């Protein structure tokens, strides 16, 4: 009896990295300079070499592309056939980074750039699907977690936080209700500091009570 040799499936990690820039939720894409689908934009990723965990692989790719370390990273889904020519299984993650901490690679090859999630170019490997699901997950988790800490600096005003929520949700929020809700949840706390902006009176500064996942 003869057996047919089997080929072990290859596994890739893919990371959708989000930040709020210019009051819009944006995702980091890389311009592919190699086959397959050279010349198209795609999410950062790479083949898993089994020498590190999948989480470590995603984290390494995140740091490589942005230089950011104090971030929110979560596994989104595992799917087959997303990239039929290179990987039979893809493990997708999403990450939230604070824009001022990001230092993008400056090489021309596989050049990275930010794109607003509501104005994306044609993407390789059906990456639009991944981004859509990531945005849905982020929006849903705003209701019951402190997930927004990944997008914020250590100290911020309530107005700063509201603008971040509005960028993610893509619609305005009532100022009084937002302030009341955020303080009542206990997810944020005052720092005891104030910040003056222009001719306006000083604004109170807050911080997240914990810069790690917390659920209500």
pLDDT in tens, 124-169: 888 998 999 999 999 999 999 999 999 999 999 999 999 999 999 9
The predicted model scores a pTM of 0.88
Q: Is the pLDDT of residue 84 over 80?
A: no
96 & 182 share domain: no
Paired tokens of 127: 């990456």
107 & 176 share domain: no
The 3-state secondary structure of the chain reads CCCCCCCCCCEEEEEEEEEEECCEEEEEEEECCCCCCCCCEECCEEECCCCCCHHHHHHHHHHHHHCCCCCEEEEEEEEEEEECCCEEEEEEEEEECCHHHCCCCCCCCCCEEEEECCCCCCEHHHHHHHHHHHHHHHHHHCCCECHHHHHCCCCECHHHHHHHHHHHHCCCCCHHHHHHHHHHHCCEEEEEEEECCCCCCCEEEEEECCCCCCEC
22 & 109 share domain: yes
Is the pLDDT higher at 53 or at 26? Answer: 26
Question: Measuring CA to CA, which residue among 106, 114, 93 is closest to residue 19?
Answer: 114
Cβ atoms of 98 and 156 within 8 Å: the answer is no
For residue 153, what are the domain limits? 147-208
Q: Which pLDDT value is given to residue 48?
A: 80
Average pLDDT of the chain to the nearest whole number: 88
Cβ atoms of 16 and 95 within 8 Å: the answer is yes
In a domain, 164, yes or no: yes
Question: Measuring CA to CA, which residue among 40, 12, 66 is closest to residue 120?
Answer: 40
Q: Is the pLDDT of residue 5 over 50?
A: no
Is the pLDDT higher at 88 or at 103? Answer: 103
Q: At what angle do helices 158-169 and 127-141 cross, to 10 degrees?
A: 140
Count of domains forming the chain = 2
Distance, in Å, from the CA atom of 70 to the CA atom of 187, rounded to the nearest integer, reads 17
69 & 175 share domain: no
Q: Which pLDDT value is given to residue 83?
A: 57
25 & 83 share domain: yes
Q: What is the CATH number of the domain that holds 167?
A: 1.10.10.10
pLDDT in tens, 158-169: 999 999 999 999
Is the pLDDT higher at 38 or at 23? Answer: 23
pLDDT in tens, 41-79: 999 987 787 888 888 888 888 888 888 877 889 999 887
In a domain, 3, yes or no: no
28 & 127 share domain: yes
């Amino acid at each position: 009896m003869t057996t047919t040799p089997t080929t072990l499936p290859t596994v890739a990690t893919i990371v959708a990295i989000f930040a709020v820039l210019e009051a819009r939720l944006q995702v980091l894409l890389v311009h592919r300079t190699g086959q397959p689908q050279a010349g198209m934009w795609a999410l950062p990723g790479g083949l898993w070499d089994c020498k590190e965990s999948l989480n470590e692989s995603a984290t390494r790719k995140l740091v490589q592309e942005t230089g950011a370390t104090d971030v929110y990273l979560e596994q989104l889904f595992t799917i087959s056939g997303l990239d039929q020519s290179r990987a039979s299984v893809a493990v997708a993650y999403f990450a939230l980074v604070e824009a001022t901490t990001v230092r993008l690679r400056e090489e021309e090859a596989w050049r990275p750039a930010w794109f607003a999630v509501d104005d994306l170019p044609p993407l390789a490997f059906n990456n639009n699907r991944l981004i859509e699901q990531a945005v849905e997950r982020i929006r849903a988790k705003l209701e019951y977690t402190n997930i927004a800490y990944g997008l914020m600096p250590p100290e911020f005003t309530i107005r700063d936080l509201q603008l971040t929520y509005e960028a993610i949700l893509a619609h305005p929020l009532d100022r009084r209700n937002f302030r009341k809700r955020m303080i009542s949840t206990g997810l944020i706390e005052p720092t005891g500091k104030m910040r003056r902006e222009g001719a306006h009176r000083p604004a109170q500064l807050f911080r997240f009570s914990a810069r790690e996942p917390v659920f209500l």
